[in-house]
A and B are shown apart, each in its own frame.
Chain A
C-alpha cells in the first residue's frame, strides 16, 4: 500500500503511508515515547501499554504500536493523563517482581530503568509483591532470572520469528505467567535451543544475561535484531 494519508500529531499535520502504525510515525517525528514490548524487526504484541496515545473519537487510549494510521486521525502523545497512566504502568511493573537495581546485572543499561527515570518515577506507590521466583542457570552460557522478567515476550518472538527455534514460550496466566524453555525443561536441557543468544540481546531487563556478568556489567546490543534482518533482506552474507 503506497497510499499517503495525513494525520494530526500533537497539533502538527504529518503524512504517513497507509500501512504504517502510529508508533512508526511517532518515531519518524522523533517524538520520544516509551515502549517495552515493542522491538523493531519483531511482530507487535501490544502488551506493555506504555505507548498508549490519545486518539480523538476513540473511547479510550490506543496502543500506538498496534494502531494503524488512518486519514484525518488526531493524535496526542503526551497529555497529563497519559503521562500519569504511564507512570502507573511502570510502577506496577517495578512492584510486580523483584526489581532491585542496585544488585542487578543490567543496572544502568536497563530499558525498564530508563523508561522509569524518563517518566519521572521516583517512588512506587504500590505494594511490592515480592514473589518467590527461581533462576535457571543450567545453560552453559546464559542465565534466566525470573525476578527481573517483565513478560514482554521479546525473547519468545525473536526465538520464533528470527532464529526459528521457538525454544521460548509462556506458561501459566495472569500474575502467575512465566517464560519457559521447551516444555518447561531447564534451559540447559533444551534440545531446541541453538545457544544463539538472540533472546539475551533483546531482553530489555536483567532477566536474561550472559553467565559471568555481575552487577551493572551486562550490556545489550539494542539494534541487534534490525541488524540481522537488514543483513538477511539485503543478502549481505551470501557468498
Chain B
C-alpha cells in the first residue's frame, strides 16, 4: 500500500457510505451487548429486510458510545449529518424505530436521548473520536475516517528523531497511571544501544470498575495498532506485542481481525508504505493476574515466565524483553499518537493543563446517574465530571467521595470536588490519576468497607514475591476486618497506619507500593469513621487495680 492507494481506499469507502440514505449505528461493545444489543441489531436487520430498506439504510455495528448505563444504544445518522440517539432500546423499540424513523422518516420521541445534554457537550473526544462512529471490524471504515494517514506521514516525511521530538513537544504523558513523559521514554528507547528492540502495548487493565482500554481496543483497534506502528518506527523496533487481559475476549477477537486486515492491506508487515520500515504485531493474552499490568511482570509473562515483577533498574528502556531495549506504553497512550501526529503537537499541547496535556478517558461508575465511558480535557474539575457529565447522585443522596486510580488510588472527599483532575493535583490529594477508573460514592457508603474491599483485592492479587506485600496486605485486611467488627483498639489503628507506611516504602513493585493508598486516603479524610468503630477503651483505672 502507498499513499495514493490509501487515499483511493478512503474515498471509495466514503462514496459507498454516501450511497445510503442513513447509517444506523448500533453499539456492539461489551456493555451494550450484555444488555441485549445483539437482539436489537437483529430486530433492526429483520425489520429493514422485511421493508426492503437494506439498500437505503446501512446498519453498522460500532464501538462504545459512552452511555453504558442506558444501553443498548442506537444512533441514526442521516446523510445530511443529523443525528438521533436512542437509548434503552429493546427489540420492540427497534421495530418501532425501523418503522417510524427509518421507513417513515419521522424520529421517535420515545427512547430519544438529548444529544445536547452535558454528558455529550462537556466531553472532548480525541482518543475516542472514532469510537461509536465506525465499524471496528472493518479497516476500510477506519481508513475512511482518516486512519493510517498519520502513519504514512510519519514514515514518509519524518525521521524517528522528529517523531520523538514531536511527541515530546505535545506534552503527552503515560496514561497507565504514573504519568511518565511519553516522548522522553521513546527517546530513551531510541537512543538505547541494541539492534533488536520491542514495542509493547499494555492492555492488561485490571482496576475494579475500569474499562477504558477494553473499550478502545473493542471500538477502535486500528487506532491502537497505528499508534504502536508509529512508536515502533520512532524507536527502531520491528516487533510489537499487544498484551491483552484474558477477560477481554471481544477485544482480542477484534484486535486479531484488525491485525490480519492491516497485514492484508500492507499497513503492518514488511516495507510499510514503501519505506524500509517493517513492523509485526502479535497478541499475548494474560491469564488473569492483576500484577501482570506491572511492566516488568508483564514482560516476564510475554516471555513465558512466571508473571512476577523484578526490581528496576534496569528499566525496560535499557533491558526489557529478552534483554533488549523495550518501549512499553498503555493502550490509551498509543491511542493518542495518531491524532498528535496528524494535527501537530501544538494543537495537542493547547489541550489540558500546564503539566497534564490532552484528554483523559474515565470509566465513570458507582453512585452516579450517567455511568459510562467519558473523555474530558485534563484539568476539568471533579465537580463537572460528577455533576454535569455524570448527572449527579441518584436517589436524592449526597456525594461523599470519588475513588480514582483503583486499588492504587484513593478517595477524594466532597471538599475537594473543585480540584482540577490532572496528575499532580490528584497525587497531592493522596490519590492518583491511575488508568482512569472513577467510582462515585454516596453518603450511604462506609469508607472502612471500601478500604477493606480494595485491600482484599490487593491481597488476592499480590504475587507473593516480596514479604511486605504478600503478608502485609493480608495483615492490613485482617486489621480492617477487626475495625469493621468493632473489635479493634486504638493500638490496632496505630499498627495499621505503621504497616501501611512500611508496605508503601518497602514493597518491590508498584502494586505493593500503592496498595495502602485506599487506607491512607480514607484515614486522611474519613478518620472519624474508623474511630467510631473502635472498641471502647477499658474503664479508667482498671489497669491500676490489676497492678
Q: Which residues of A pack against B, CB within 8 Å?
A: 45-49, 52, 60-61, 63, 66-68, 84-85, 88-89, 92-93, 95-96, 125-127, 129, 150-151, 170, 172-177
| A125–B468 alpha-carbon span in the complex (Å) | 15
Contact among A66, A67, A126, A175 for B470, CB-based, below 8 A: A175
Further 19 A-B residue pairs, CB within 8 A, beyond A52-B506, A174-B464, A175-B471: A47-B465, A47-B467, A60-B506, A61-B506, A63-B311, A67-B311, A85-B506, A88-B502, A89-B502, A92-B472, A92-B475, A125-B495, A129-B478, A151-B470, A172-B464, A173-B463, A174-B460, A175-B470, A177-B464
| A129, B474: Cβ atoms closer than 8 Å | yes
| A174, B506: Cβ atoms closer than 8 Å | no
Contact among B313, B460, B466, B505 for A85, CB-based, below 8 A: B505
Q: Which residues of the partner chain A approach B465 to less than 8 Å between Cβ atoms?
A: 45, 47
6 nearest CB pairs, A to B = A177-B464, A174-B462, A92-B471, A66-B311, A46-B311, A174-B464
Q: At the interface, yes or no: B499 with Cβ under 8 Å from chain A? A: yes
| A52–B506 alpha-carbon span in the complex (Å) | 7
| A170–B508 alpha-carbon span in the complex (Å) | 18
CB-defined A-B contacts under 8 Å, sample of 11: A45-B465, A48-B467, A52-B505, A63-B311, A63-B508, A95-B471, A127-B478, A174-B463, A174-B474, A175-B464, A177-B470
In the assembled complex, how far is the CB of residue B178 from the closest CB belonging to chain A, in whole angstroms? 12
Contact among B289, B467, B508 for A92, CB-based, below 8 A: B467
Given A174-B470, A175-B470, residue A95 in contact with residue B464 (CB < 8 A) = no
Q: At the interface, yes or no: B459 with Cβ under 8 Å from chain A? A: yes
Most chain A CB within a 10 A radius of its CB, from B306, B465, B471, B473: B471
Q: Which residues of the partner chain A approach B291 to less than 8 Å between Cβ atoms?
A: 173
Residue of A nearest to B471 (CB): A92
| A64–B460 alpha-carbon span in the complex (Å) | 28
Given A170-B306, A174-B459, residue A85 in contact with residue B311 (CB < 8 A) = no
Q: Which residues of the partner chain A approach B502 to less than 8 Å between Cβ atoms?
A: 84-85, 88-89
Task: Report, as a range, how many residues of chain B touch the other chain.
Answer: 20 to 34
Q: Which residues of the partner chain B approach A61 to less than 8 Å between Cβ atoms?
A: 505-506
| A49, B467: Cβ atoms closer than 8 Å | yes
Residue of B nearest to A66 (CB): B311
| B313, A68: Cβ atoms closer than 8 Å | yes
Most chain A CB within a 10 A radius of its CB, from B467, B468, B502: B467
In the assembled complex, how far is the CB of residue A79 from the closest CB belonging to chain B, in whole angstroms? 12
In the assembled complex, how far is the CB of residue A45 from the closest CB belonging to chain B, in whole angstroms? 7
Q: Which residues of the partner chain B approach A172 to less than 8 Å between Cβ atoms?
A: 464
Q: At the interface, yes or no: B461 with Cβ under 8 Å from chain A? A: yes
| A66–B506 alpha-carbon span in the complex (Å) | 13
| B466, A176: Cβ atoms closer than 8 Å | no
| A68–B318 alpha-carbon span in the complex (Å) | 14
Residue of B nearest to A172 (CB): B464
| A45–B306 alpha-carbon span in the complex (Å) | 13
Contact among A60, A93, A96, A126 for B505, CB-based, below 8 A: A60
| A88, B498: Cβ atoms closer than 8 Å | yes
**Which chain B residues numbered 467 to 520 have a C-beta less than 8 Å away from chain A?**
467-468, 470-475, 478, 495, 498-499, 502, 504-508, 513
Contact among B313, B463, B468, B475 for A95, CB-based, below 8 A: B475
Contact among A63, A68, A173 for B464, CB-based, below 8 A: A173
Residue of B nearest to A48 (CB): B467
A-B interface pairs (CB < 8 A), number = 96
Q: Which residues of the partner chain B approach A88 to less than 8 Å between Cβ atoms?
A: 498-499, 502
Q: At the interface, yes or no: B125 with Cβ under 8 Å from chain A? A: no
| B459, A175: Cβ atoms closer than 8 Å | yes
Q: At the interface, yes or no: B310 with Cβ under 8 Å from chain A? A: yes
Q: Which residues of the partner chain B approach A92 to less than 8 Å between Cβ atoms?
A: 467-468, 471-472, 475
| A96, B471: Cβ atoms closer than 8 Å | yes
**Which chain B residues numbered 295 to 318 have a C-beta less than 8 Å away from chain A?**
306, 310-311, 313
In the assembled complex, how far is the CB of residue A33 from the closest CB belonging to chain B, in whole angstroms? 14
In the assembled complex, how far is the CB of residue B180 from the closest CB belonging to chain A, in whole angstroms? 14
| A89, B464: Cβ atoms closer than 8 Å | no
Given A127-B475, A177-B470, residue A151 in contact with residue B464 (CB < 8 A) = yes
| B471, A93: Cβ atoms closer than 8 Å | yes
Q: Which residues of the partner chain A approach B475 to less than 8 Å between Cβ atoms?
A: 92, 95, 126-127
Given A49-B506, A127-B478, residue A173 in contact with residue B289 (CB < 8 A) = yes
| A183–B499 alpha-carbon span in the complex (Å) | 35
Q: Which residues of the partner chain B approach A47 to less than 8 Å between Cβ atoms?
A: 465-467, 508
| B310, A46: Cβ atoms closer than 8 Å | yes
Q: Which residues of the partner chain B approach A60 to less than 8 Å between Cβ atoms?
A: 504-506, 513
Q: Which residues of the partner chain A approach B508 to less than 8 Å between Cβ atoms?
A: 46-47, 49, 63
In the assembled complex, how far is the CB of residue B305 from the closest CB belonging to chain A, in whole angstroms? 11
In the assembled complex, how far is the CB of residue B492 from the closest CB belonging to chain A, in whole angstroms? 9
In the assembled complex, how far is the CB of residue B303 from the closest CB belonging to chain A, in whole angstroms? 16
Q: Which residues of the partner chain B approach A85 to less than 8 Å between Cβ atoms?
A: 502, 505-506
| A172–B461 alpha-carbon span in the complex (Å) | 11
Given A46-B311, A63-B508, residue A89 in contact with residue B470 (CB < 8 A) = no
| A154–B392 alpha-carbon span in the complex (Å) | 55
In the assembled complex, how far is the CB of residue B231 from the closest CB belonging to chain A, in whole angstroms? 27
| A183–B472 alpha-carbon span in the complex (Å) | 28
Q: Which residues of the partner chain B approach A95 to less than 8 Å between Cβ atoms?
A: 471, 475
Q: Which residues of the partner chain B approach A93 to less than 8 Å between Cβ atoms?
A: 467, 471
In the assembled complex, how far is the CB of residue A121 from the closest CB belonging to chain B, in whole angstroms? 14
Most chain B CB within a 10 A radius of its CB, from A49, A67, A68: A49
In the assembled complex, how far is the CB of residue B130 from the closest CB belonging to chain A, in whole angstroms? 38
| B464, A176: Cβ atoms closer than 8 Å | yes
| A85–B459 alpha-carbon span in the complex (Å) | 20
| A67–B314 alpha-carbon span in the complex (Å) | 10
Given A49-B468, A88-B499, A125-B495, residue A174 in contact with residue B313 (CB < 8 A) = no
Residue of A nearest to B314 (CB): A68
Q: Digit string of B438-472 for contact with A (CB within 8 Å is 1, else 0)? A: 00000000000000000000011111111110111
In the assembled complex, how far is the CB of residue A23 from the closest CB belonging to chain B, in whole angstroms? 12
Q: Which residues of the partner chain B approach A45 to less than 8 Å between Cβ atoms?
A: 465
| A173–B469 alpha-carbon span in the complex (Å) | 11
Q: Which residues of the partner chain A approach B499 to less than 8 Å between Cβ atoms?
A: 88, 126
Contact among A63, A129, A170, A173 for B462, CB-based, below 8 A: A173
| A85–B466 alpha-carbon span in the complex (Å) | 14
Q: Which residues of the partner chain B approach A170 to less than 8 Å between Cβ atoms?
A: 306, 464
In the assembled complex, how far is the CB of residue B498 from the closest CB belonging to chain A, in whole angstroms? 7
Q: Which residues of the partner chain A approach B466 to less than 8 Å between Cβ atoms?
A: 46-49
In the assembled complex, how far is the CB of residue B32 from the closest CB belonging to chain A, in whole angstroms? 34
In the assembled complex, how far is the CB of residue A151 from the closest CB belonging to chain B, in whole angstroms? 6
Q: Which residues of the partner chain A approach B460 to less than 8 Å between Cβ atoms?
A: 174
Residue of A nearest to B465 (CB): A47
In the assembled complex, how far is the CB of residue A22 from the closest CB belonging to chain B, in whole angstroms? 12
| A96–B306 alpha-carbon span in the complex (Å) | 23
Most chain B CB within a 10 A radius of its CB, from A61, A92, A129: A92
| A168–B504 alpha-carbon span in the complex (Å) | 30
